[in-house]
Amino acid sequence: MAGTDVFTEIVDGEQVYKYYADGEWKKSASGKSVSIVNPTTRQTQYKVQACTQEEVNKVMEAAKTAQKLWARTPLWKRAEHLHKAAAILKEHRAPIAVCLVKEIAKPAKDAVTEVVRSGDLVSYTAEEGVRILGEGKLLVSDSFPGNERSKYCLSSKVPLGVVLAIPPFNYPVNLAVSKIAPALIAGNSLVLKPPTQGAVAALHMIQCFHLAGFPKGLISCVTGKGSEIGDFLTMHPGVNCISFTGGDTGIAISKKAGMIPLQMELGGKDACIVLEDADLDLVASNIVKGGYSYSGQRCTAVKVVLVMESVVDAVVEKVKSKMAKLSVGSPEDDCDITPVVSESSANFIEGLVMDAKEKGATFCQEYRREGNLIWPLLLDHVRPDMRIAWEEPFGPVLPVIRISSVEEGIHHCNASNFGLQGCVFTRDINKAILISDAMETGTVQINSAPARGPDHFPFQGLKDSGIGSQGITNSINMMTKIKSTVINLPSPSYTMG
């Protein structure tokens, strides 16, 4: 297993992690740092540089210059660099996973999985890029009325320029590489602004890309408070594309960004609709896995359960007995339920729980919280007048709404301002397809909890859940534009002979 020695250059003498620009690790001229609080101990764990706007300007300039040369680098060579980065990343999964445990309280095994999955994503993107970017299109003019065959149009995909990537705290490595790899294979340069919680894991990941030998300036990583350098970055004239994953901040960015392509993966309120004929054991295990993995801090977590009256008591009982087996504690011990990312997040979750309590929801377990650690809670008899019926807790609390018809479930799902994923449990595949068609979400899972992966599947949200579609192929395409070259012949090409 690779050690931590390769990461010593990314931290300064005062143990503040440096930012990455122009192929080097640097200290910010601001002399200021941003603290990263360990969600478990609630003590400062790490510090990162608070970059200045001037430093952002320099990064953008370097990214623009480096991109021009990178775009001329043969596609197979770009892929080779990415494969190398993927291998280095996987080799250093252990020290990166430690950062994920300390910064975002991700259970230890899941933290390793995130890094390995990220390496796989980078390699797959390199493979996919070589295939799809190596293909173009030929059009001939005589298929359109009034034209002879005197024009040949060759179209291919070319890079956009500088891509700005902003991932969220919950998958700071995976949701960074899901932007970095497609941007690079397509010939773009990349500026990463990691989330504060997760920044150090992201900086370690960037060091793996550095070790893979990408040209100077092609990749940069600036750290600082989103609220301080965020707007400056997203409204920067040097940015040609923004790929963002996070919450409502993405809606604000979409309104402020200029006329550039945007990829927005935002929040969700993924509904799980359970019909009378469903396999209730399958339902219960998917609700527990879907609702409580990583303490519910996943965009595709099950966030509201809508169950037909006739089976709801059985579902609740089965879910309760499985929940009793969830371990609660520290991420180092690989517990199922670990502290949520911050005190403000825990307070927000508690606010939703108390609102539901005041309005008459039934608690299936006792509500318990110690610091940022919230014990898993199932709320039954939730009604539409409760906030938790609509809002995204991003914590281990899950509402159950009893429904008397499938239409009622679909109506609740579609009345949400979110539209990320949803799922339906039934043994009747014909009915499942009808329900899938009626649900206004980017994806509907039949007989499984919502999930983002495998990472090459299309992934998209409707309404406030996002703009555009992701998944490896879609992301590569999104980070390119079509360029056409038209060959104009002096006479139609079929006149000879």
Of the candidate spans 108-116, 128-136, 168-176, 269-277, the one that interacts with ligand NAD by CB under 6 A turns out to be 168-176
Q: Choose the catalytic residue: 128, 265, 391, 392.
A: 265
Residue of 394, 397, 403, 422 interacting with ligand NAD (CB under 6 A): 394
B/e letters for 330-340, b = 16+ CB within 10 Å, e = fewer, are bbeebbbbbbb
Contacts with ligand NAD, 169-208, as mask; x by CB under 6 A: xx------------------------xx------------
Give φ, ψ of 264 to 5 degrees: -125, 120
Q: Tell the smallest beta-carbon distance from residue 167 to ligand NAD (Å).
A: 6
Residue of 266, 283, 413, 439 interacting with ligand NAD (CB under 6 A): 266
Interaction of residue 299 with ligand NAD, rule CB under 6 A: yes
Q: Which of 58, 88, 61, 59 is nearest to 213 (CA)?
A: 88
- In this structure, the chain runs to a length of 497
Residue of 123, 174, 243, 245 interacting with ligand NAD (CB under 6 A): 245
Residue of 134, 136, 247, 384 interacting with ligand NAD (CB under 6 A): 247
Residue of 39, 107, 226, 339 interacting with ligand NAD (CB under 6 A): 226
Concerning whether 265 is annotated as a catalytic residue, the answer is: yes
Q: Tell the smallest beta-carbon distance from residue 296 to ligand NAD (Å).
A: 10
Burial class (CB in 10 A: 0-12, 13-18, 19+), 404: exposed
- Name the E strands within 250-344: 262-265, 271-274, 304-308
Beta bridge partners of 137: 155
Q: Tell the smallest beta-carbon distance from residue 177 to ligand NAD (Å).
A: 14
Nearer CB in complex with ligand NAD: 249/436 = 249
Write out the H or E segment, with its range, that includes residue 356.
Answer: helix 343-358
Instruction: State which of positions 318-337 bind ligand NAD (CB under 6 A).
Output: none
Q: At what angle do helices 108-132 and 174-185 cross, to 10 degrees?
A: 10
Concerning whether 299 is annotated as a catalytic residue, the answer is: yes
Q: Tell the smallest beta-carbon distance from residue 483 to ligand NAD (Å).
A: 29
- Kindly report each contact of residues 483-488 with a partner whose C-beta sits within 8 Å and lies 24 or more positions away, as own/partner: 483/155, 483/156, 483/157, 483/158, 484/153, 484/154, 484/155, 485/153, 485/154, 485/155, 486/151, 486/152, 486/153, 486/154, 487/151, 487/152, 487/153, 487/154, 488/150, 488/151
Of the candidate spans 17-25, 184-192, 222-230, 276-284, the one that interacts with ligand NAD by CB under 6 A turns out to be 222-230
Of the candidate spans 37-45, 88-96, 165-173, 429-437, the one that interacts with ligand NAD by CB under 6 A turns out to be 165-173
Contact between 21 and 223 under an 8 Å Cβ cutoff? The reply is no
- Beta-carbon neighbour count of residue 453 at 10 Å? 12
Interaction of residue 455 with ligand NAD, rule CB under 6 A: no
Of the candidate spans 122-130, 228-236, 405-413, 485-493, the one that interacts with ligand NAD by CB under 6 A turns out to be 228-236
Residue of 95, 161, 461, 471 interacting with ligand NAD (CB under 6 A): 461
Interaction of residue 270 with ligand NAD, rule CB under 6 A: no
Tokens of 67: 């991109």
Whether the link from the prior residue into 454 is cis, omega within 30° of 0, is yes
Count of chain residues binding ligand NAD (CB under 6 A): 26
Q: How crowded is the C-beta side of 76, counted as CA atoms within 13 Å?
A: 0
- Residue 295 CA to residue 420 CA, distance in Å, equals 19
Q: Tell the smallest beta-carbon distance from residue 213 to ligand NAD (Å).
A: 27
Binding region for ligand NAD (CB under 6 A): 166, 168-170, 195-196, 226-227, 230-231, 234, 245-247, 249, 253, 265-268, 299, 392, 394, 420, 461, 466
Q: Which amino acids are annotated catalytic?
A: 265, 299
